[in-house]
Amino acid sequence: MDSRLTTTVDLAPLLLFGWQLVAPIAELPAVSVLLLIVAAATLVRLATRDIHPRSRRVLILGSGPMASKLIEALDGHSGRYTVAGIVDDERPAADTPAAARWLGDCQHLGDIVTRVQPASIVVAAADRRHRLPLQALLESRVRGTLVEDAVEFYERLTGKIAIEALRPSALIMAKGFRRQGGTHTLARAITVLAAGLGLVLLTPLLAALAIAIKLDSRGPVFFVQQRAGRDGHPFGLIKFRTMHPSKSARSEWVLDNIDRITRLGRWLRRFRLDELPQLVNVLRGEMSFIGPRPHPTTNHVVFMDRIAYYQLRSSIRPGVTGWAQVRYGYANNLDEETEKMRYDLYYIKNRSVWLDLRILLETVGIILFGKGASAVRRPSPSRSELVPAAALRRKDEPTYIPWLPSSTAGQSVNRQ
């Protein structure tokens, strides 16, 4: 979806300018001049996109878990970046992605930079107090080679934050988390207005779906569940019922309840139509259109203890859709919830009008193409993303943050 959206954004100004030449939409010369400028800028962008292959060569300093994540992410973006190699004092283990790309130790960093000519050096070393070759890094930076922090580079590359390697100080000093001020008040007013208008316009559809649900299976039309909202305050989230009522206690993970999904419910979930009643939650001020998806209150307590920085999700209103929802989809165990938390934290840190607009456009695409089912979506699949984290982790390998309990794949936690 990213490539198609980018192509559309690139070509739209050119098409508009061409249409202006054939059938002018305004007699004002300013419109033509503006379209000409935008079209010219777009042509320059398209023409220069692939001119500088050197600008994509990345040299990674360090060979720990963060370096392995970077290699996998860079390999997933092979058209944009190339891993020039790995530099670390200790030769990486033979079974790690960094083993075949090790170029030497930190003492020879200057010579390695001269030889491979990277555009940037990404510092992924775990211990930076006594191991960083500061002189070589400084000389490289002065000569035009970018020197970047691994966590920040990974965030920009993948649209998520590597919370395992993230230090609290990095968040405290981060440039994101901007206060919206008057913009927030205006956005909230527009949200409430849009939710009210949406309910009015969708009333015939909502009524038809309600009747169809009653005819399709026994049970109530709506499913109401206590979810954790802003600052952890509980509220009743409203959805169209998509499952048969359960006669016994079950985990609420989707994969554990596939047999309960009704015929109509499968279709509703695929096109996300079961979420439409949440417009009422938006009107009440319990939710927004865009934000982290609210979890059941029982899960909220568990995730607070098991997922790093999870409490930050409650700093804003939960959303009907969100960055994690369009980039990853549904989660069916604790490891997948942790993965979604990476995207949620990215959104909270970088949220803006433009990011919200992008999420809305991607959500519309998911609805139109029926990609809202329980399958997990990943923008750039790699081995670590296609296999649960617990399956990749060796038994004797610690988690990135020692003070966090390690997650357990497949653990039964209440979720729907």
Please choose, from the candidates 81, 245, 130, 320, the residue with its C-alpha nearest in 3D space to the C-alpha of residue 71.
81
What CATH number has the domain bearing residue 86?
Answer: 3.40.50.20
User: Looking at the predicted structure, is the pLDDT value of residue 124 above 80?
Assistant: yes
Are 211 and 126 contained in the same domain?
A: no
Are 325 and 260 contained in the same domain?
A: yes
Q: Count structural domains, the chain.
A: 3
Q: What b/e string do you get for 390-411 counting C-beta neighbours within 10 Å, with b at 16 or more? A: eeebeeeeeebeeebebbebbe
pLDDT of residue 158: 93
Give the whole-angstrom CA distance, residue 207 versus residue 241: 14
On whether residue 176 sits in a domain, the answer given is no
On whether residue 38 sits in a domain, the answer given is yes
Give the whole-angstrom CA distance, residue 5 versus residue 8: 5
Which residue type, as a one-letter code, is found at position 205? Answer: L
pTM of the model: 0.75
Q: Which residue has the higher pLDDT, 149 or 47?
A: 149
On whether residue 207 sits in a domain, the answer given is yes
User: Looking at the predicted structure, is the pLDDT value of residue 387 above 60?
Assistant: no
Give the whole-angstrom CA distance, residue 313 versus residue 304: 10
pLDDT tens across 135-145, in order? 999 999 999 99
The model's confidence at residue 131, banded by pLDDT at 50, 70 and 90, is confident
User: Looking at the predicted structure, is the pLDDT value of residue 342 above 90?
Assistant: yes
Are 17 and 110 contained in the same domain?
A: no
% residues pLDDT > 90 (the chain):
48
pLDDT of residue 194: 94
The model's confidence at residue 182, banded by pLDDT at 50, 70 and 90, is low
Q: Is 379 buried (19+), middle (13-18) or exposed (0-12) by CB count in 10 A?
A: middle
pLDDT of residue 8: 45
Give the whole-angstrom CA distance, residue 409 versus residue 416: 17
Are 195 and 243 contained in the same domain?
A: yes
On whether residue 323 sits in a domain, the answer given is yes
Give the whole-angstrom CA distance, residue 320 versus residue 289: 5
pLDDT of residue 402: 33
User: Looking at the predicted structure, is the pLDDT value of residue 175 above 60?
Assistant: yes
Are 343 and 198 contained in the same domain?
A: yes
Give the whole-angstrom CA distance, residue 310 versus residue 291: 14
Are 367 and 298 contained in the same domain?
A: yes
Are 306 and 284 contained in the same domain?
A: yes
Which residue type, as a one-letter code, is found at position 43? Answer: L
Please choose, from the candidates 416, 412, 407, 393, the residue with its C-alpha nearest in 3D space to the C-alpha of residue 65.
393
On whether residue 411 sits in a domain, the answer given is no
On whether residue 163 sits in a domain, the answer given is no
Identify the three-state secondary structure at position 149. Answer: strand
Are 71 and 148 contained in the same domain?
A: yes
On whether residue 229 sits in a domain, the answer given is yes
Give the whole-angstrom CA distance, residue 218 versus residue 76: 46
**Beta-strand relationship, 57-61 and 120-123:** parallel
The model's confidence at residue 154, banded by pLDDT at 50, 70 and 90, is very high
The model's confidence at residue 119, banded by pLDDT at 50, 70 and 90, is very high
Are 88 and 29 contained in the same domain?
A: no
Are 91 and 152 contained in the same domain?
A: yes
Angle formed at CA 314 by CA 234 and CA 339, multiple of 5 degrees: 115
H or E segment and range at residue 17: helix 2-22
Long-range own/partner contacts, residues 128-132 (CB < 8 A, 24 or more apart): 131/89, 131/106, 132/61, 132/106
Return the minimum-mean-pLDDT range out of 4-18, 57-71, 201-215, 328-342: 4-18
Please choose, from the candidates 142, 109, 144, the residue with its C-alpha nearest in 3D space to the C-alpha of residue 125.
109
Domain range enclosing 346: 182-392
Q: Which residue has the higher pLDDT, 392 or 224?
A: 224
On whether residue 77 sits in a domain, the answer given is yes
- Tell me, letter by letter, the H, E, C secondary structure of 43-57: HHHHHHCCCCHHHHE
Are 108 and 233 contained in the same domain?
A: no
User: Looking at the predicted structure, is the pLDDT value of residue 376 above 80?
Assistant: no
The model's confidence at residue 240, banded by pLDDT at 50, 70 and 90, is very high
Are 66 and 207 contained in the same domain?
A: no
**Beta-strand relationship, 222-228 and 146-149:** unpaired
What Å distances lie between residue 54 and 58, 147, 167, CA to CA?
A: 9, 15, 31
The tokens describing 67, both together, are 């370096």
